[in-house]
A and B are shown apart, each in its own frame.
Chain A
Amino acid sequence: MDFILRYFEKIGLFVLYIINELGSLIIYLWNCILSILRYSVNVNNLFDQMAFIGMDSFYIVGLTGLFVGMVLSLQAYYAARIVGVTYMIGPTVALAMTRELGPVLTALMITARCGSSMASEIGTMKISEQVDALEVMAVDPFYFLSVPRIIASMVMLPIMSIVTSLIGIFGGYVVYKFFLGLNGAVFVDMIYKYIKLSDIYNGLLKAVFFGIILATISTFKGFEASGGSKGVGRVTTQAVVLSSIYILFADYILTSILF
């Protein structure tokens, strides 16, 4: 009897944990918004973070886009060849990239690259009392640490998503034209024909949300760090895992709302 109840207790604890976590996140985000209202934005850190999330991530994001686009093109070819609609490969690649893979892959790559770094950076600052020092120096940690990261991520994710999509489509084109030996002009023409502005902009809107999600979770987790380097490692892992899950979850929700 008892041990059955214990399972329920565990489930209950888990649910409470999830709700608690989500609640804390929302409160945290709210605090960040309040901090913007109180102290505006630390422009210096904002640009640092924009450079970090943006240009510094260019290669990793570009490479991801390139290979994904190439693979998409190749895989689409195997399917399209069967029914003889190889001319649809272009739109397939372009739509997949702009609507889905561009934003999501960018968000996941940036989470891995920058989200983890945000969590560990803030985590380290937290456990070595640097966050306390900030506070004592009358500098709001939200203002100094969270807000620039969240805004930078929010702004740069759509930008990087454009990069991913473009390079992905380019990769698809390269495979289409040079590896598969098909007519490149058809690839481009069909893209213009089938892609809509809304495909592009809804994809970018998604990216904005992903940016907010990943930076919010990553910085939030950073502040939760305690107990030395192991604690920092733990929150970093949590930040990446949680961000990725929330991104994929949000992707589903947004896709069902937007498209």
Chain B
Amino acid sequence: MIILENINKSFKNVKVLNNLNISFEDKKITVVIGRSGEGKSVMLKHIVGLLKPDSGRVLFNDIDLNSINKKELNELRKKFGMVFQDGALFDSINIFENVAFPLRQHLKLSEGDVVKKVISALNDVGLSGIESKMPAELSGGMRKRVAVARALILEPETVLFDEPTTGLDPIMSDVINNLIISTQKHFKYTGIIISHDIEGAYKTADTIAMLYEGAIIEKGDAEKFKTSDNPVVRQFVTGSMIGPIVI
């Protein structure tokens, strides 16, 4: 169980997270939606301790991330996988090494096992035969898929996806969504997905939450969102220009 409690975060004078409270159930997929620039990525970074809240707590299985030291935090992070919004692939090593990186750092596998695992992980995201390419030689969508493969390769307990399907064509989006669903079924990880893709969210999510003005304004299953009478949610779900959200 991951719980964010009363998180406040400002950059300079801009308040991004405003008394944010949210919990993520274990072994379930939670999709967080919200407008661009709303603070979703910032929220995600709080979960893995990349950012520290100005006030409030981040609890991971009742451990306060702020109260533990660097080494313990690192131990904790081994249970995480994360897909960054821009992929964050290491641009100095090739795709194969990028995906193999977590394996090499944390597991003592034979080279044969590494190759097998990497090839199959890349196959899962629809990429094969690009192992020796450098990240700069790939398209944005391909890079994102490599990032997904890299995040999943250690079969972590918790996987954070920062917009895994943004920038992909609809078919590829579906492939990734299905990949998330199937791997989640298989490894039973806790999934936290940030997405703008409402249809995808309905399909993958056990729970959907909406971030608005630095706080969660609605949380529930797909049905609840489809029938929500919160005008903000309605406007976002229907994707309408007209509504209470000031552009």
Contact = CB atoms under 8 A, between A and B. Distances in A.
B105 interface: yes
A135 B45 CA distance: 11
Q: B-side binding surface: helix, strand, loop or mixed?
A: mixed
B92 A138 contact: no
Contacts of A138: 74-75, 77-78, 80, 105-106
Interface string A105-143: 000000000000000010011001110110111111000
A131 to B, nearest CB: 9
Contacts of A130: 88-91
Nearest to B92: A121
B50 A128 contact: no
Interface residues of A, number: 15
Contacts of A128: 86, 88, 91
A10 interface: no
Given A138-B77, A138-B78, A133 B90 contact: yes
Interface in B31-74: 45, 48, 50, 70-71, 74
Interface in A21-80: 38
A137 B105 contact: yes
A124 B70 CA distance: 24
Q: A-side binding surface: helix, strand, loop or mixed?
A: helix
A135 B77 contact: yes
A129 B105 contact: no
Contacts of B75: 138
B84 A129 contact: yes
B102 A137 contact: yes
Contacts of A129: 84, 86, 88
Given A129-B84, A129-B88, A132-B88, 12 more contacts: A38-B71, A128-B86, A133-B84, A135-B48, A135-B77, A136-B80, A137-B105, A138-B75, A138-B78, A138-B80, A138-B106, A140-B74
Q: Which 7 A-B pairs have the closest CB atoms?
A: A133-B88, A138-B77, A129-B88, A138-B78, A136-B82, A138-B74, A129-B84
